[in-house]
Amino acid sequence: MTTEKILTSEEVKEIQKIYQHFPLKSAACIEGLKVVQKYHGWVSDEAIKELAEILEMSPAAIDSAATYYSLIFRRPVGRHVIMVCDSVSCWIMGYDKIIDCLKNKLGINYGETTPDDRFTLLPIPCLGTCDHAPAMIIDEYLHNDLITDNLDTILEKYK
């Protein structure tokens, strides 16, 4: 009985293509994690093991890098990831109100996912749009100049 692999052969090929560019396979560790997350949304223990085989590294070494970085998710996330900037300029410009509103609307706290798997809520440091604070990113889209009144409109776009 063979367990099904997490990574498809295309994904494996993509990672193999990437490590050609590095002097060592192990240097492609982070890129490999990004490929996994691109297709699966997060990186599971099993994916770590498969990636380790492809890159000829130990699972521990891969996980050591994976758990270091805040944007590699080692737990499942919802269909959309909301990342709210909690740094100083957004904080001055009303972050507290925004996050309280979001937490209320979604009924979840930081690090949690809505029961319908629609949204995961995470903090993120300064998004570099401080002249349009407060701000947040959902998936890959930047939403800034946030006010509590337009949060619903923004969230509606994400099914």
Using CB under 8 A, list all residues that contact another protein: 21-24, 26-31, 33-34, 45, 48, 58-61, 63-65, 67-72, 83, 86-89, 91-93, 124-133, 137, 140-142
Closest CA to 72 of 102, 48, 99: 48
71 versus 150: smaller Cβ distance to another protein? 71
* Angle subtended by helix axes 59-66 and 45-55, to nearest 10: 120
88 versus 147: smaller Cβ distance to another protein? 88
20 versus 116: smaller Cβ distance to another protein? 20
The label of the residue with tokens 């080692």 reads 74
In the complex, the smallest distance separating the C-beta of residue 56 from another protein, rounded to whole angstroms, is: 9
For the chain, the residue count is 159
In the complex, the smallest distance separating the C-beta of residue 137 from another protein, rounded to whole angstroms, is: 6
CB-based contact 135:90 (threshold 8 Å) = yes
